[in-house]
């Protein structure tokens, strides 16, 4: 029987902007600790499928505003943050459920906001000893663009998307500093798993 490392948490939140490599790291973390993993993008799909634009206008924003792709990068980042805010109560309920059932989980995604990670409780359960969080940040915009090209070569270079991701990453860094949430550089990739494990135990 495989023995996995001890962990001082039930739910591990792994946040960061798109294109930083956090999804790859999250699956490695789940294997390392022998726990389940869920991508927050799946929750966005569920919410968008099970609600109407009238019920959840922010969740449906991209599909109801044809001009959204042409918004200034700062406005797009604001929209990403707004979606994260709308999703936070649902994510908090999932976190509480996993604490209650003692079912360990890595929860990963762009829409995990530092404010969610900074909550002192989830439902009837305290965050201390139950929830840990780490955010990965890539400060090199060109590296994010290279990551997109390597991941999605069929789409060609995406400098605009990389800039938006970089902007969002800088906002995440500032919010994490304000709230006392751990931020780690995404690189070097060769050591990112070990660095995250060191932080989360």
| Strand 105-109 to 11-16 pairing | parallel
Length of the chain (residues): 201
How far apart CA 17 and CA 165 sit, in angstroms, is 6
How far apart CA 150 and CA 175 sit, in angstroms, is 29
Angle between helices 22-33 and 189-200 (to 10 degrees): 50
Q: What is the pLDDT of residue 130?
A: 98
pLDDT per residue, tens digit, the chain (201 aa), is: 688 999 999 999 999 999 999 999 999 999 999 999 999 999 999 999 999 999 999 999 999 998 888 999 999 999 999 999 999 999 999 999 999 999 999 999 999 999 999 999 999 999 999 999 999 999 999 999 999 999 999 999 999 999 999 999 999 999 999 999 999 999 999 999 999 999 998
How far apart CA 16 and CA 5 sit, in angstroms, is 24
DSSP, collapsed to helix, strand or coil, labels residue 75 as helix
How far apart CA 37 and CA 104 sit, in angstroms, is 9
pTM: 0.96
Q: What is the pLDDT of residue 105?
A: 98
Q: What is the pLDDT of residue 45?
A: 94
Q: What is the pLDDT of residue 3?
A: 87
Cβ–Cβ < 8 Å for 63, 48: yes
Class of domain 11-200: alpha beta
Longest dimension (CA), the chain: 55
Would you kindly state where each structural domain of the chain is located, as residue ranges?
11-200
Cβ–Cβ < 8 Å for 182, 199: yes
């Amino acid at each position: 029987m495989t023995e996995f490392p001890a962990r001082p948490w039930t739910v591990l939140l792994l946040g960061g902007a798109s294109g930083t490599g956090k999804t790859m790291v999250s699956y490695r973390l789940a294997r390392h600790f022998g726990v389940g993993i869920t991508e927050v993008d799946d929750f966005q799909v569920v919410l968008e499928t099970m609600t109407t634009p009238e019920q959840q206008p922010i969740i449906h924003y991209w599909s109801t505003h044809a001009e959204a792709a042409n918004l200034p990068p700062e406005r797009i980042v604001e929209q990403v943050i707004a979606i994260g805010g709308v999703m936070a109560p649902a994510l908090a309920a999932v976190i509480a459920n996993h604490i209650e059932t003692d079912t360990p989980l890595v929860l990963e995604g762009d829409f995990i906001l530092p404010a969610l990670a900074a909550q002192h409780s989830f439902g009837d359960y305290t965050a201390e000893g139950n929830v840990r969080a780490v955010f990965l940040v890539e400060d090199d915009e060109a590296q994010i663009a290279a990551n997109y090209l390597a991941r999605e070569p069929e789409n060609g270079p995406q400098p605009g998307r990389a800039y938006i991701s970089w902007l969002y990453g800088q906002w995440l860094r500032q919010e994490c500093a304000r709230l006392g949430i751990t931020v780690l550089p995404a690189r070097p990739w060769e050591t990112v798993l070990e660095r995250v494990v060191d932080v989360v135990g």
